[in-house]
A = this chain, B = another copy of it.
Amino acid sequence: MTTDTDWCRDLPVVVTGGMGFIGSNLALRLEALGAQVTLIDKMLSQYGANPHNIADPIRVNRKGPPLQVIEADIGATAEIENAVAGAKVIFNIAGQTSHMDSMKDPLEDMRLNQESNLRFLDLIRRVNPTARVVFSSTRQFYGPPRYLPVDEAHPINPPDINGVHKYAAESYHMLYARIYGMRTTALRLTNVFGPRMRIRDAKQTFLGIWVRHAIEGTRFEVWGGDQMRDFSYVEDLVDALLATANSEESVGQVYNIGGCPAVSLLELAELLVRIAGTGSFERKVFPEERKKIDIGDYYCDDSPFRAATGWQPHIDLEEGLRRTIAYYRTNAEHYL
């Protein structure tokens, strides 16, 4: 994407969840564009926080000031107040996405994914109500699609506890725009993949554990296989986050974000193994426990977002997987 990014230079920016997968990719880009970046991260490694995410060689060539890191929950208002007060743009990316964990400990999921967001938004309202706020929401709470592609008017039907809490957190962002005039936007993400995602297990994305098996030359399981899904390569998503922050039209709005056209999980597995040249997979019947919270086919219509911001993805699924495999070939030790 050839967006003009001069507006990022010297811009004070906060990225929550900045040590995690999406947050770190965004933070590194912002740093490269000369922004003054402060990361707020609770450092929960099980949900993807990883110091290596912001420590790899790409940073040797950085132009701007160093990244600042505040190790804190986004609900810990006293610890983060100064950073929040001074930001022009706040990317609120923090959260855990493990559906199974949310079912095992629903109260903890509520604290992490909902209550902290409420505290955080209320802090912004008090100390920096004109900041631009971009929230990473999820397509997950649409539940099993009633039609395809899914647009933003699709009914809400959270299939698990995580979905209930993510929807509540998104609702806060929209309410605070409507009632307090805050400048928030929510992006409903689909399957995001790429360098710096958690690959130790499937807690962040099933594609993580697939990549691990591919580079380790072992066999992974494809549950079902016919399910259609769309994917966003993380660099394209970073483009989308930046385009959002720079768009007045998107204030107070919710958008789907897709990217690569949908493929079946079977096609994805075949592509991954072919690109890696190592690893293999076997198809398995969907386990009963997961079936209850699975959503079947999903792909979205993201044309409203493209129309509002001019964004379009540039990395197709094959190229994205190639870059992902290449990253983990040389960085695997930090992610296992």
Q: Is the interface of A mostly helix, strand, loop or mixed?
A: helix
Chain B, Cβ-Cβ closest to A152: B155
A119 touches B107 (CB 8 A): yes
Q: Which of B118, B161, B171 contacts A175 (CB 8 A)?
A: B161
Whether B158 lies near A155 (C-beta < 8 A) is no
Contact with B along A158-172 (1 / 0, CB 8 A): 111101110110011
For A165, the closest partner residue in chain B by CB is B168
A173 CB, min distance to chain B CBs, angstroms: 11
- Distance (Å) between the CB of A317 and the closest chain B CB? 32
The minimal Cβ–Cβ distance linking A121 to chain B, given in whole angstroms, is 9
Copies in the complex: 2
Q: Is the CB of A115 within 8 A of B110?
A: yes
Judging by beta carbons under 8 Å apart, are A164 and B171 in contact? yes
Query: Whose C-beta in chain B lies nearest to the C-beta of A122?
Result: B106
Known: A158-B171, A168-B164, A168-B165. A293 touches B115 (CB 8 A): no
Docked CA distance A103–B153 (Å): 26
Q: Whole-angstrom distance from the CB of A125 to the nearest CB of chain B?
A: 10
Contacts of A114 in B (CB 8 A): 110, 168
Chain B residues positioned under 8 Å from A118 (CB to CB): 106-107, 110
Does A156 make an interface contact (CB < 8 A)?
A: yes
Give bound CA distance, A171 to B106, whole Å.
13
Instruction: Tell me the bound Cα distance from A103 to B179 in angstroms.
Output: 10
A126 at interface, CB cutoff 8 A: no
A158 to B174, CA, bound (A): 9
Distance in angstroms from A76 CB to nearest chain B CB is 14
Using a CB-CB cutoff of 8 Å, which residues 278-332 of chain A contact chain B?
Answer: 292-293
**Would you list which residues of chain A between 28 and 60 have a CB under 8 Å from chain B?**
none
Query: How many angstroms between the C-alpha atoms of A293 and B172 in the bound complex?
Result: 13
A274 at the A/B interface (Cβ < 8 Å)? Answer: no
| Bound form: Cα–Cα A163–B163 in Å | 16
Would you call A164 and B158 a contact (CB within 8 A)?
A: no
Shortest Cβ distance from residue A180 to the other chain B in the assembled complex, whole angstroms: 9
Cβ < 8 Å to B, chain A residues 148-202: 153, 155-156, 158-161, 163-165, 167-168, 171-172, 175, 178-179
Separation of A179 and B164 alpha carbons in the complex (Å): 14
Neighbouring B residues of A179 by C-beta, 8 Å: 103, 160, 292-293
Q: What are the 10 closest A-B residue pairs judged by CB atoms, nearest first?
A: A164-B171, A168-B168, A156-B156, A164-B168, A179-B292, A158-B171, A106-B118, A107-B118, A110-B115, A164-B172
| Chain B residues whose CB sits within 8 angstroms of the CB of A119 once the complex forms | 107
Residues of B within 8 A of A115 (CB): 107, 110
Seed contacts A107-B118, A110-B114; 8 additional CB < 8 Å A-B pairs: A103-B179, A107-B119, A156-B156, A158-B175, A159-B175, A163-B171, A164-B171, A179-B293
A182 to chain B, nearest CB (A): 13
Complex Cα–Cα for A122 and B109 (A): 14
Please give the distance in Å from A197's CB to the nearest CB on chain B.
27
Alpha-carbon distance between A293 and B168 when the two chains are bound, in angstroms: 17
Measured in the bound complex, the distance between the Cα atoms of B126 and A106 in whole Å is 14
